[in-house]
Amino acid sequence: MIENPMILFPLLILFLPLISFIIVIFFGKKLPRQGDWVAVGSIVTTFLLACYLFLQMLLNYDPDFSHGASFSWINLGEFKIDLGILVDNLTIVMLLIVTLVSSCTHIFSIAYMKGDIRYNRYFAYLGLFTFSMNGIVLADNLISMYMSWELVGVSSYLLIGHWFEKDSAANASKKAFLTNRVGDIGFFIGIMLLYSAVGAFAFSPIFESIAGGQAIAGTTLTIAGLGIFMGAVGKSSQFPLHIWLPDAMEGPTPVSALMHAATMVAAGVYMCVRLFPIFTPSALIVIAYIGAITAILAALIAVSQNDIKKVLAYSTVSQLGFMILAVGTGVYTAAFFHLLTHAMFKANLFYCSGSVIHSMHHALHKAHDHDTDPQDMRNMGGFKDKMPITYFSMLVSTLAIAGVPLFSGFLSKDAILAGTLSFAQHHPGHFLLPLFGFLAAALTAFYMFRLIFMTFHGKPNIKSIMKDIHESPKEMTGPIVLLGSLSFFIFYTLPKNFNPMKDKGWFTDLIVPRNSAVPGSLTANEIADYAHHAHYLAMGLSLVVASLGILLAYLIYQRKVISAKNISKRFGFFYDWSLNKFYFDENYNRYLYQPFLRLAHTISWLDWEFYDKYFINGFGRLTKLLSTISGKFDYSGIDQGFVDGFGRASNTVGKLLRNVQTGRLQNYLLFVVAGILVIIIAQAF
Amino acid sequence: MENILSLLIWIPIMGAIIVAFLPRDNENLVRYISAAITGLEFIVAIVLWRAFDPVNGSMQFMERYEWIPSLNISYILGVDGLSLPMVLLTAMLFFIGVFVSWNIKKAVKGYFALYLLLNAGVLGVFLSLDFFLFYIFWEVMLLPMYFLIGMWGGPQREYAAIKFFLYTLFGSVLMLIGILGLYFTCGKTFDILLIMERAPEALNGVLWWGMSAAKVIWVLLFIGFAIKVPVFPFHTWLPLAHVEAPTAISVLLAGILLKLGVYGIIRVNYGIMPDQVYWFAGGLAFLGLVNVIWGGLCALAQTDLKKLVAYSSINHMGYSLIGIAAVVAAGEMNGGDLKAAQAGLSGAVFQMFNHGTISAMLFILVGVVYERAHHRDIDGFGGLASQMPIYTGITALAFFAGLGLPGFSGFVSEAMCFIGAFPVFKAIVVLSTIGILLNAAYFLWAFQRVFFGELNEKYKDMKEINGMELFTVIPLAIITLFFGIYPGPYLDLIKATMDQIIEKIAFAASYGIM
């Protein structure tokens, strides 16, 4: 089985990065160039292997294409866990995304991380991440998915905390891991629920059992689905666990591009897509609302942020919300389509921001300015001519994310909005879903162009550094150009369709939606049919909102006909909430972390100071008291009182009796007579 | 081969005598001899492991000699899939512990003599199949431990030692009453295997003061073992004893002595009164939950690194308790769910071993930094990652193993405990999954405070972990990783015995004398 390239190559793609991790972490320091070539070499190899798989997929052009292999990991007779891989079109596309963005990140990092004190460890951790991410993608069962899931969390922890000397980075890494673990608890409970009902961990038997309707159904299945979805809420940074992703920007920018934009955070969406058949209609409603709320909430925050990476981070959160919304409304292949296009343009946006920050950093360094924040867009402006490659590439990707025709984001976002709209047409009670969706789309166009205008257009805000702002080296511009070009629509509609308004192409041919396993759900055909009817309306609306957003950004930040200050003053309250991210961190801190820590301290105090010192030691003291009393009793009572009392008594009696022994015969005779008298009297009665 | 189990017990006893007669001033000789004896012991244990037949779930390598025939007391030893991994763990940790104790300066001879005696006591408990012998070894273990903590420990050593002693003594008195109860009801024998056969019938319907004798005996024995685990609310000796004990002794306390509790519950309570398991499992799972949450919250609040690790033991043993409660899934009233019973019981026994290796690693690592800084205040360090990268790396590994990260053995066993207990104790398991968040919280928070941030000026000359220290940690790390990636070999070793226990308990449900 392993000779089959469809099994062997995915296994190589899985394990090569792990091997690179082991080599670079242990021997990196001793290798030339600290072993970065090992990491880059292995990752590019996996990319080439993924390309081969992708080509095979295109040549086969079979939507049902699927291979798998597994081995027995734990076998206790009845209790068994088989781990295995599943290779189908979904897997292959995802593998291509991961290895492509990972390769770009590796190459980009050679220049970006040059001279870093932990250069080798950085590359090692990238390898660990790629391994874990591929593990999620290839999993054919819940256990190996969960295991890779957690390993992804760790590599994220290690990379966010790469510059751990900074407290903010150390805090952010811990926050990311713990927030993810909250989601993982739900994931694990979901796994246990499914296993205890179905008796299997692998996807296909689970789907079969659910379709059977006997083993698990109704509320239990809804809870199991929502539990599993909680894992996605954590990993894909959905409301209310979205708080970790913006902080994760403390990590190096290429890491943000790879993990916190393109792949790791998309794992939650991937999981929902993979496990779509298990979600009941009630679970899907919850999922849809979580996605919609996340999309709008993050977009509202993004409009007021000034840190270039924070804007992108909130934009990522918002886009992930779109994808989750799509899963919830049933058009889950649209979610995956958006995952694909988003991975390309968002990774590129991060690379471009990294390129800008890199350049700012060097310029500020030359000017001996250590106080200016190199990530604050208010310190930028007018970089367009200094960094033309970065500018144009970023512009292209911004057009994609804003949903402008000719670019990839238009196709995928349109598919999502059409699905949402058709869902609301059939369930009018849920009109908020498309409303939030379109609103978030408008805001996306607005804040992304705000970013472009503030960074690249207008007059420079700090003139002194402009002479040192220059284009980045080719290790960085290479990935920027590559991923920038992948923001054009044509790569997703080949080979048959050249119409930029239609999403039909290899993707829609090969990634086809499947029916939900839950009995009574809408079939995939019905969902697609409904979405198709809503398509034109959705397209029209999304064009309108995108142009409105861009226009507004243009008027405020380019032409400055509307003053941003005035608006923020007029909507002071909303502006404040947006700027402060709706006070999530503050409230969580106040109502969750602090009470929790206080609880821990109280319990610890109870345990150590109270329970142990008073209760347990109380036994000791009680015993001591008892022994003192019994000692007293023993000595003063029994020994001194009773035992010695005998002595004293006989002594006294003896003394008394001594008086009797006078030695005079007459007295004795008197006693004898008295005695006889007493006896006689006694006899008489 | 015939007397290999006796060999395991008597090698360290002879060793203790030899060490006692060595010249007082030649400390290194004492150390080398101790290393040689525990090394030999370890080799014998490995020979035993290789000769062990994992397909056979019954007792193997049994030895049986008359001892005090008038009271039916015999010298019976035996090993099965439940005790073999514990024997291996014991032999390994005692061998490693000699090197952890290398820097002991005070009364070296006395230390190692007691150390070897402790070794014999622990192995005796795991191997003996006669209650009288079992009880003697149980007490033999107690005395050296008392002196090792009380003489070589930290500032509060005497308080800690006496507390440990009294707590355990209290437990062993109850246990003794329980054992005597079994002795008199089951035809005046101390032979554990014989009692296992006779007890279900002998105890059936027997009432003491209006209470079922089986339940009374169960509770007496359980408290005796619960103190060792330690199960809340009998746990407060542990943080104190761990913190005050010298590093090697903390390693052995957490690594092995705590396992005697769960071992005892499975071997004695489960083995002799399988029908009562159904009555008590709910309470057991609940106590496990309390251990998990209480231990986790306490660990979160600690400022002393060693105390944090000590509380983490309470937290981790909770998973084991939840796991052993899961066997009741095999009962017919619970649908005869063998999957869950297997996952839970094997997971719990696996967790015992994994906690042994992981907590040993954690205590050794705490000892390393204490040796250098002479304090363990979590907030008193800061930024050590830039000064001691290797130490940081290994500690990160140990912490991640401790927080149950996949890839480390702790994850497999914890997951199995949860999955096994879930069908029967849904609410308890769901609540105890909060424990895995707490685990991550206290380990990562402590890690951040010790290793991240700017380097504390005081420690800019702190020495990197040395070769001897690495030698003590790395084997444990490798085992933890190996079983995390490939748990098969361990589970195959215990499978047959676990199946026997489950079968017995499942059968007990059918004769229903609850």
pLDDT value of residue A684 = 66
User: A77: which chain B residues are within 8 Å (Cβ-Cβ)?
Assistant: 338, 342, 495, 499
Instruction: Give the 3-state secondary structure of residue A215.
Output: coil
Single out the residue of A15, A18, A25, A95 nearest to residue A54, CA to CA.
A95
User: B301: which chain A residues are within 8 Å (Cβ-Cβ)?
Assistant: 597, 600-601, 603-605
Q: CB of B173 within 8 A of CB of B158?
A: no
In A, minimum Cα distance to B413 occurs at: A74
As a three-state string, the secondary structure of B454-497 is: CCCHHHCCCCCCCHHHHHHHHHHHHHHHHHHHCCHHHHHHHHHH
| Distance of alpha carbon A80 from alpha carbon A74, whole angstroms | 5
Model confidence at A685, pLDDT cuts 50, 70, 90, reads low
A586 near B CB under 8 A: no
Residue B284 lies in a domain: yes
Determine, for residues A79 and B383 on separate chains, whether the beta-carbon distance falls below 8 Å.
no
Give, for B207, the enclosing helix (H) or strand (E): strand B207-208
User: B429: which chain A residues are within 8 Å (Cβ-Cβ)?
Assistant: 192
Instruction: Give the 3-state secondary structure of residue B68.
Output: strand
| Distance of alpha carbon B476 from alpha carbon B255, whole angstroms | 11
A193 or A372, higher pLDDT: A193
Determine, for residues B302 and A146 on separate chains, whether the beta-carbon distance falls below 8 Å.
no
In A, minimum Cα distance to B493 occurs at: A76
> Which residues on adjacent β-strands are paired with residue B191?
B130
In B, minimum Cα distance to A616 occurs at: B236
Determine, for residues B386 and A167 on separate chains, whether the beta-carbon distance falls below 8 Å.
no
Residue B82 lies in a domain: no
Residues A375/A381/A387/A389 CA torsion (nearest 10 deg): 90
| Distance of alpha carbon A639 from alpha carbon A648, whole angstroms | 12
B11 near A CB under 8 A: no
Give, for A70, the enclosing helix (H) or strand (E): strand A66-75
Single out the residue of A383, A350, A364, A397 nearest to residue A470, CA to CA.
A383
pLDDT value of residue A176 = 93
User: A76: which chain B residues are within 8 Å (Cβ-Cβ)?
Assistant: 342-343, 346, 491, 495, 498
Instruction: Give the 3-state secondary structure of residue A523.
Output: coil
Residues A434/A435/A438/A439 CA torsion (nearest 10 deg): -150
B379 near A CB under 8 A: no
User: How many Cα atoms within 13 Å fall on the side-chain side of residue B187?
Assistant: 12
- A400 by Cβ neighbours in 10 Å (0-12 / 13-18 / 19+) ranks as buried
Residue B217 lies in a domain: no
CA A431, A446, A427 angle in degrees (round to 5)? 10
Return all residues near B120 (Cβ < 8 A) that are at least 6 apart: B9, B10, B12, B13, B16, B137, B140
Return all residues near B27 (Cβ < 8 A) that are at least 6 apart: B108, B109
Q: What is the mean pLDDT of chain A?
A: 89
Residue B44 lies in a domain: no
Range of the domain at B420: 275-514
What pTM, to 2 d.p., does this model score? Answer: 0.91
Give, for B60, the enclosing helix (H) or strand (E): strand B60-68
Q: Which of A:391-430 have CB within 8 Å of B?
A: none
Closest approach of B406 to chain A, Cα-based (Å)? 5
> Which residues on adjacent β-strands are paired with residue B66?
B74
Of A181, A192, A601, the CB nearest to B429: A192
Which of A72, A122, A196, A605 should be substituted to probe chain B, the one whose Cβ sees the most B Cβ atoms within 10 Å? A196
Closest approach of A178 to chain B, Cα-based (Å)? 7
| Distance of alpha carbon B406 from alpha carbon B409, whole angstroms | 8
Single out the residue of B84, B455, B234, B357 nearest to residue A165, CA to CA.
B455
Tell me the two tokens of residue B37: 């004896």
Determine, for residues B453 and A164 on separate chains, whether the beta-carbon distance falls below 8 Å.
yes
Which of B437, B486, B501 should be substituted to probe chain A, the one whose Cβ sees the most A Cβ atoms within 10 Å? B437
- B138 by Cβ neighbours in 10 Å (0-12 / 13-18 / 19+) ranks as buried
Q: CB of A268 within 8 A of CB of A235?
A: yes
Indicate whether A159 pLDDT > 70. yes
Instruction: Give the 3-state secondary structure of residue A661.
Output: coil
Tell me the two tokens of residue A63: 């939507």
Determine, for residues B166 and A620 on separate chains, whether the beta-carbon distance falls below 8 Å.
yes
B448 near A CB under 8 A: yes
A502 near B CB under 8 A: no
- Looking up tokens 């790396």 gives B393
Q: CB of B358 within 8 A of CB of B409?
A: yes
pLDDT value of residue B514 = 45
User: A620: which chain B residues are within 8 Å (Cβ-Cβ)?
Assistant: 166
List per-residue pLDDT tens for chain B, 514 residues long. Answer: 778 999 999 999 999 999 988 888 888 899 999 999 999 999 999 999 999 999 998 999 999 998 888 888 999 999 999 999 999 999 999 999 999 999 888 888 999 999 999 999 999 999 999 999 999 999 888 889 999 999 998 888 888 898 888 888 889 899 999 999 999 988 888 999 999 988 888 888 888 888 888 899 999 999 999 999 889 888 889 999 999 999 999 999 999 999 999 999 999 999 999 988 998 999 999 999 999 999 999 999 999 999 999 999 999 999 999 999 999 998 888 888 899 999 999 999 999 999 999 999 999 999 999 988 888 989 988 889 888 999 999 999 999 999 999 999 999 999 999 999 999 999 999 999 999 999 999 999 999 999 998 888 888 888 899 989 999 999 999 999 999 999 999 999 999 999 999 999 998 887 654 4
Please provide residue A489's backbone torsions phi and psi, each rounded to the nearest 5 degrees.
-65, -30
Determine, for residues B444 and A167 on separate chains, whether the beta-carbon distance falls below 8 Å.
no
- A651 by Cβ neighbours in 10 Å (0-12 / 13-18 / 19+) ranks as exposed
User: How many Cα atoms within 13 Å fall on the side-chain side of residue B459?
Assistant: 24
Single out the residue of A393, A299, A302, A292 nearest to residue A344, CA to CA.
A393
Residue B439 lies in a domain: yes
| Distance of alpha carbon A588 from alpha carbon A596, whole angstroms | 11
- E strands within B262-401? none
CA A344 to chain centre: 20
A349 or A464, higher pLDDT: A349
| Distance of alpha carbon B471 from alpha carbon B476, whole angstroms | 9
User: B488: which chain A residues are within 8 Å (Cβ-Cβ)?
Assistant: 73-75
| Distance of alpha carbon A44 from alpha carbon A671, whole angstroms | 129
Determine, for residues A167 and B441 on separate chains, whether the beta-carbon distance falls below 8 Å.
no
B165 near A CB under 8 A: no
A119 near B CB under 8 A: no
Of B300, B437, B448, the CB nearest to A170: B448
Q: CB of B502 within 8 A of CB of B338?
A: yes
Q: CB of A440 within 8 A of CB of A308?
A: no
In B, minimum Cα distance to A199 occurs at: B339
Single out the residue of B255, B265, B268 nearest to residue B285, CA to CA.
B265
Of B236, B297, B452, the CB nearest to A600: B297
A603 near B CB under 8 A: yes
**Which of A31-45, A203-217, A634-648, B55-69 comes out lowest in average pLDDT?**
A634-648
In B, minimum Cα distance to A599 occurs at: B297
User: B383: which chain A residues are within 8 Å (Cβ-Cβ)?
Assistant: 165
Residue B62 lies in a domain: no
Report the domain count for chain B. 1
pLDDT tens across A389-404, in order?
999 999 999 999 998 9
Residue B95 lies in a domain: no
Give, for A67, the enclosing helix (H) or strand (E): strand A66-75
- Looking up tokens 């690594």 gives B255
Residue B265 lies in a domain: no
User: A599: which chain B residues are within 8 Å (Cβ-Cβ)?
Assistant: 297
Indicate whether A421 pLDDT > 60. yes
Return all residues near B406 (Cβ < 8 A) that are at least 6 apart: A146, A147, A148, A150, A151, B484
In B, minimum Cα distance to A165 occurs at: B453
In B, minimum Cα distance to A623 occurs at: B166
Of A75, A161, A192, the CB nearest to B452: A161
In B, minimum Cα distance to A608 occurs at: B236
Tell me the two tokens of residue B387: 């000064």
Closest approach of A103 to chain B, Cα-based (Å)? 25
CA A599, A603, A608 angle in degrees (round to 5)? 150
Residues B200/B204/B206/B210 CA torsion (nearest 10 deg): 110
Indicate whether A332 pLDDT > 80. yes
- Looking up tokens 């008027």 gives A555
pLDDT tens across A262-288, in order?
899 999 999 999 999 999 999 999 999
Q: Give the mean model confidence (pLDDT) for residues A522-543.
A: 85
Closest approach of B162 to chain A, Cα-based (Å)? 11
Of B412, B440, B487, the CB nearest to A178: B440
- A679 by Cβ neighbours in 10 Å (0-12 / 13-18 / 19+) ranks as exposed
Return all residues near B129 (Cβ < 8 A) that are at least 6 apart: B59, B62, B76, B77, B78, B191, B192, B193
User: B385: which chain A residues are within 8 Å (Cβ-Cβ)?
Assistant: 164
Closest approach of B96 to chain A, Cα-based (Å)? 24
Q: CB of A202 within 8 A of CB of A140?
A: yes
* Longest Cα–Cα distance in chain B: 71
B230 near A CB under 8 A: no
Closest approach of B447 to chain A, Cα-based (Å)? 10
Q: Which long-range contacts (CB under 8 A, 24 or more apart) does A144-147 make?
A: A144/A83, A144/A84, A145/A271, A146/A184, A146/A187, A146/A188, A146/A191, A146/A231, A146/B406, A147/B406, A147/B407, A147/B411
pLDDT tens across A612-631, in order?
888 888 888 888 888 888 88
The single-letter code of the amino acid at A680 is I
Please provide residue B73's backbone torsions phi and psi, each rounded to the nearest 5 degrees.
-100, 130
Instruction: Give the 3-state secondary structure of residue A68.
Output: strand
Using CA atoms, how far residue A80 sits from A72, A83, A199, B404, B490, in Å, is: 7, 10, 9, 20, 15
